[in-house]
Chains A and B, each alone.
Chain A
Amino acid sequence: MKKQFVWLLAALMTVMLVGCANDKVPAQQAIAGAEAALASVRDAAQKYAPDTLQTVDAQLAQIKDMFAKGDYKSVMANIGSLNSAISSLKDTATAKQAEAEQAMAKAKDAWSGVSNDVPKMVAAIQSRVDILSKSGHLPKGVTKDALNSAKSGLDSMKSAWNDAMSAASGGDYSTAMSKAQAVKDQGAQIMQSLGMASG
């Protein structure tokens, strides 16, 4: 009787172990699948949806923790939600990447015009500043402060323009255009202060 009981107990334990092993393998495979899916989108997600990536990473970490604790049923219960989150992250990152690339292409197109334009603006202002610096008296409406301000403004414009050109050389046309516009805005103000409006 005792022998039979021991055999029965051993048989029961074997069934339980096999059962657990059967739960473990699918859970392990499910996690591996999710990790592979996340790896394929990680670079884009890091750049275009870092906050969402962080949330998904936390979700994955929780599920791996469940697996480490042997709670394979919970892994399987939650893996669907993780996979949905990864799929959604992929969609978001892809959409934002496409938006950023479109904006960059637009900026690149605009750059070719601006890269001719800004040097001309600087040259015109430089010319006027140089001439006014030789003048015995400044023209009506132009003060000494305005002229001094224009000189330092011109230096600042040249420096910012160099930054814009560096950004463009590096392929970052969005930054280049933003800096170029700032240069043009400053130039327009200087031209106004020197009485350079066309007339």
Chain B
Amino acid sequence: MADDKTPPGDDNPYTQTYVVKAGDSLSKIAKQYYGDASLYDKIFQANRDVLKDPNKIQVGQKLRIP
């Protein structure tokens, strides 16, 4: 039943979200939520509908944290 890959654009109400603040990066966000900055790609993949480049995130963007 469970699928650990949330398809981009698929809104699961139980998936945690995070609003990007000044100075944030996907690595920093991954460190905060996963304890491991190298897992930033998980966040990128979960937000392909709003992120084209993992290095380019904007303040105020709401990101899914799978």
Q: Which A residues form the contact surface with B (CB < 8 A)?
A: 117, 119-132, 134-140, 142, 154, 158, 161, 187, 191, 195-199
Question: A135: which B residues are within 8 A, CB to CB?
Answer: 34-36, 39
If A136-B36, A196-B16 are given as contacts, then 5 extra A-B residue pairs at C-beta distance below 8 Å, sorted by A number, are A123-B14, A124-B15, A127-B5, A137-B36, A187-B14
Question: A137: which B residues are within 8 A, CB to CB?
Answer: 35-36
Point out the residue from A122, A140, A199 that lies within 8 Å of B2, measured CB to CB.
Answer: A122
> Which residue of chain B lies nearest to A136 when distances are taken between CB atoms in the complex?
B36
Question: Interface size of B by Cβ–Cβ distance < 8 Å?
Answer: 23
The 5 closest A-B pairs by CB, nearest first: A126-B2, A124-B14, A139-B35, A135-B36, A137-B35
* Proximity string of chain B (34-66) to chain A, C-beta cutoff 8 Å, 1 when within and 0 when not: 111011001000000000000000000000001
> Which residue of chain B lies nearest to A165 when distances are taken between CB atoms in the complex?
B1
> Which residue of chain B lies nearest to A187 when distances are taken between CB atoms in the complex?
B14
User: What's the A-B contact tally at a CB cutoff of 8 Å?
Assistant: 80
Q: Which B residues form the contact surface with A (CB < 8 A)?
A: 1-6, 12-18, 31-36, 38-39, 42, 66
A124-B12, A124-B14, A124-B15 given; A119·B1 CB < 8 A: yes
Point out the residue from B2, B4, B33 that lies within 8 Å of A195, measured CB to CB.
Answer: B33
Question: B2: which A residues are within 8 A, CB to CB?
Answer: 119, 122-123, 125-127, 154, 158
B3–A198 CB distance below 8 A = no
Question: A154: which B residues are within 8 A, CB to CB?
Answer: 2
Question: B14: which A residues are within 8 A, CB to CB?
Answer: 120-121, 123-125, 187, 191, 196
Closest CB in chain B relative to A137 CB, distance in Å: 4
